[in-house]
């Protein structure tokens, strides 16, 4: 089923029945109001018909309407409608009035009054027919008028009924809209709380203040977060244990190969042993990177403290210089004090990975520069080399685990920049990969204020 907004769903469920009730209320208010008004107009026609009946005269067996001209004018005078009448004898013969005025569909001889709608001279009229005494015989009187004031009255009643209903409908819409919005407020706050969390924040959600209906959802989410946290801890424990278990035999293997290489050996054997030595060094570095990755995971980090990036680099400079000399790379330092709040071990590991990458991918005789300091009030650390660089299209992907730019030389595992990215995220730092001053690559870590 297509995903729908819960608010939209509630509004769809609430507004149609409310709208139907408002329409029904308008109809209930309209028809009881229009009926008495219509009956009052019909009664006025009946009164006019009764009055006309009193002017019928019988002379020598013939009938005539002795209606004074002034009375006729008063009868026909109306500000909105045209008034018509017709007087018929006992046998239906016309006595006076407007010819062609329609007779009622039925006309009893019991003196009853018949009200009906008809058309006269192309206009809709409302008419009444009633009996009048003509001596001993009954005559018929028909009085009709056009429907202008009736329609106007109906329109006025309709508008006077609809206007309050429309105001009520608008007020209801506003109340329902804000009521639904306010009612869904706890869910919105819960959503905002979850969105604000980092991917590694697996703490249970506080159910305090959560509506009763949402508590099963919060409970299910907390169960899921607990399972994820446990799985993350198991993964970290496995990586840490595996790295620790590998480091000891690898260190021994590396020491034995170095001792063997120090002895006189046949050239073919020496070549094979050097390959074993290099493979051992790479495997040991991979174990160290896995251990660093396990420590960089959320939930496995140590206590944070104030760390001076300049002092941290100076403490590691000697080891990095030896790596650079072995590769015939000029490693330089441009250091200024820069204090950050973080884990010294992880920050050291991040910079070590950046320096190792710079040395690894720089050509012999190349240059690598390590910088620390403040930039626009924010502490930073960056490593710049003059190697082949990283294409702009690949700069996001190289932060993924085990990803290497296709065609890249070297023996890296694709974990170095992923570790740097994890450590930067844990410290709220921005990581930017750009071009070097002339060529190569520059990777900068910029830490938040304070």
- The pLDDT value recorded for residue 1 is 41
- On whether both 307 and 250 belong to a single domain, the answer is no
Residue 296 shares a structural domain with residue 331: no
How far is residue 346's CA from residue 354's CA, in Å, rounded to a whole number?
12
The predicted structure's pLDDT at residue 3? 46
User: Parallel, antiparallel, or unpaired for β 305-308 and 330-335?
Assistant: unpaired
* Model pLDDT, residue 38: 80
SS3 state of residue 88? strand
Residue 167 half-sphere exposure toward CB, CA atoms < 13 A: 5
Which structural domain, as residue segments, surrounds residue 286?
211-300
Q: CA 67, CA 60: separation in Å to the nearest integer? A: 19
User: Dihedral through CA 384, CA 385, CA 387, CA 390, nearest 10?
Assistant: -10
Please say if the pLDDT value at position 120 is more than 80. yes
CATH code where residue 23 lies: 3.30.450
| CA separation for the pair 278, 280 (Å, rounded) | 5
Confidence of residue 111 (pLDDT cuts 50, 70, 90): low
State residue 243's pLDDT score.
67
Whether residue 53 is contained in a domain is answered as yes
Is there a single domain that holds both residue 111 and residue 238?
no
The span from the CA of 85 to the CA of 120, in Å, is 11
Of residues 365 and 22, more confidence is placed in 365
Q: Are residues 327 and 437 in the same domain?
A: yes
Asked if the structure places residue 191 within a domain, the reply is no
Position 32 confidence tier, pLDDT thresholds 50, 70, 90: low
Residue-wise over 326-359: b if at least 16 C-beta within 10 A, else e? eeebebeeebeebebebbbebbbbbbbbbbbbbb
Name the domain boundary from 133, 154, 175. Answer: 154
Let me know if residue 390 belongs to a domain. yes
Domain finish residue from 117, 139, 154: 154
What CATH number is attached to the domain comprising 280? 1.10.287.130
Taking CA 15 as the corner, what is the angle to CA 29 and CA 157, rounded to the nearest 5 degrees? Answer: 20
- How many helices and strands (H and E) does the chain possess? 9, 14
Q: What pLDDT sits at residue 264?
A: 85
Co-location of 295 and 305 in the same domain = no
325, 387: one domain: yes
pLDDT above 50 for 124:
yes
Instruction: Identify which has the larger pLDDT, 295 or 173.
Output: 173
- 370 forms beta bridges with 333, 383
> Residue 172 falls within a domain, yes or no?
no
Check whether 326 has a pLDDT greater than 90: no
Q: Are residues 321 and 439 in the same domain?
A: yes
Q: Are residues 41 and 103 in the same domain?
A: yes
Q: CA 29, CA 47: separation in Å to the nearest integer?
A: 28
Res. 18: pLDDT tops 90: no
Position 103 pLDDT exceeds 50: yes
Using one digit for the tens of pLDDT, what is the confidence trace for 335-362?
Answer: 999 999 888 888 988 898 899 888 988 8
Provide the CATH number for the domain around residue 358: 3.30.565.10
Residue 310's closest CA among 347, 278, 270? 347
Helix (H) or strand (E) holding 127: strand 123-134
What is the pLDDT confidence band of residue 143, given thresholds at 50, 70 and 90?
very high
Cα–Cα distance list, 410 to 275, 276, 358, 372, 382 (Å) = 14, 16, 11, 27, 22
CA distance 399 to 403: 8
The answer on 377 and 259 residing in a single domain is no
* Residues pairing with 58 in the sheet: 63
User: Within this chain, do residues 10 and 129 fall inside the same structural domain, yes or no?
Assistant: yes
List pLDDT tens digits, range 40-84: 888 888 998 888 888 888 887 788 888 888 888 888 888 888 999
347, 290: one domain: no
Same domain, 228 and 325: no
Residue 181 falls within a domain, yes or no? no
| pLDDT number for residue 313 | 92
Pairing of strands 83-88, 94-97: antiparallel
Is 439's pLDDT higher than 80? yes
Other beta carbons within 10 Å of 361: 22
- At residue 16, the pLDDT reads 82
In the predicted structure, residue 284 carries a pLDDT above the cut 80? no
422 — pLDDT class (breaks 50, 70, 90): confident
For the stretch 359-401, pLDDT in tens is 988 888 899 999 999 998 899 999 999 888 888 888 888 888 7
The yes-or-no verdict on residue 300 having pLDDT over 60 is no
In a domain? residue 180: no
Q: What is the mean pLDDT of the chain?
A: 82
User: At which of 300, 333, 362 does a domain end?
Assistant: 300
Say how many Å lie between the first and final Cα of the chain, rounded.
48
What's the 3-state SS for 148-181? HHHHHHHHHHHHHHHHHHHHHHHHHHHHHHHHHH
Q: Span 165-189, mean pLDDT? A: 78
| Two tokens, residue 130 | 């009633």
Does a structural domain hold residue 183?
no
The answer as to whether 38 is a domain residue is yes
Tally of structural domains, the chain? 3
């Amino acid at each position: 089923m297509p995903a729908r907004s819960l608010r939209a769903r509630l509004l769809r469920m609430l507004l149609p029945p409310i709208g139907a009730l408002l329409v029904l209320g308008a109809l209930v208010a309209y028809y009881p109001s229009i009926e008495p008004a219509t009956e009052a107009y019909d009664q006025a026609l009946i009164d006019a018909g009764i009055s006309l009946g009193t002017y019928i005269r019988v002379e020598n067996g013939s009938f005539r309407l002795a209606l004074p001209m002034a009375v006729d004018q008063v009868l026909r005078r109306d500000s909105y409608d045209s008034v018509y009448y017709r007087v018929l004898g006992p046998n239906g013969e016309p006595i006076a009035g407007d010819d062609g005025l329609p007779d009622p569909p039925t006309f009893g001889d019991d003196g009853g009054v018949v009200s009906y709608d008809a058309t006269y001279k192309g206009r809709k009229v409302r008419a009444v027919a009633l009996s009048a005494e003509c001596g001993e015989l009954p005559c018929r009187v028909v009085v009709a008028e056009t429907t202008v004031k009736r329609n106007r009255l109906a329109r006025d009643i309709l508008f006077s009924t609809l206007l309050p209903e429309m105001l009520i409908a608008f007020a209801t819409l506003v109340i329902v809209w804000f009521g639904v919005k306010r009612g869904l407020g706890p869910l919105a706050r819960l959503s905002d709380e979850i969105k604000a969390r980092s991917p590694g924040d697996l703490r249970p959600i506080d159910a305090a203040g959560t509506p009763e209906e949402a508590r099963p959802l919060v409970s299910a989410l907390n169960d899921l977060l607990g399972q994820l946290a446990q799985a993350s801890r198991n993964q970290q424990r496995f990586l840490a244990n595996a790295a620790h278990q590998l480091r000891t035999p690898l260190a021994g293997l590396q020491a034995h190969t170095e001792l063997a290489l120090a002895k006189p050996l046949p050239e073919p054997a020496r070549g094979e042993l050097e390959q074993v030595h290099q493979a051992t060094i790479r495997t040991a570095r991979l174990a160290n990177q896995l251990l660093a990755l396990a420590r960089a995971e959320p939930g496995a980090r140590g206590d944070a403290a104030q760390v001076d990036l300049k002092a941290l680099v100076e403490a590691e400079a000697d080891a990095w210089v030896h790596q650079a000399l072995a590769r015939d790379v000029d490693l330089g330092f441009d250091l200024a004090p820069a204090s950050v709040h973080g884990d010294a071990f992880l920050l050291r590991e991040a910079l070590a990975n950046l320096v190792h990458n710079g040395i690894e991918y720089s050509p012999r005789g190349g240059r690598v520069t390590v910088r620390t300091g403040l930039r626009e009030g924010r502490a930073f650390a960056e490593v710049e080399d003059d190697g082949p660089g990283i294409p702009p299209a690949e700069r996001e992907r190289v932060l993924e685990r085990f990803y290497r730019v296709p065609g890249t030389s070297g023996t890296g595992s694709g974990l170095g920049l992923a570790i740097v990215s994890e450590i930067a995220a844990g410290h709220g730092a921005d990581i930017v990969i750009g071009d070097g001053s002339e060529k190569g690559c520059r990777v900068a870590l910029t830490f938040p204020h304070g």
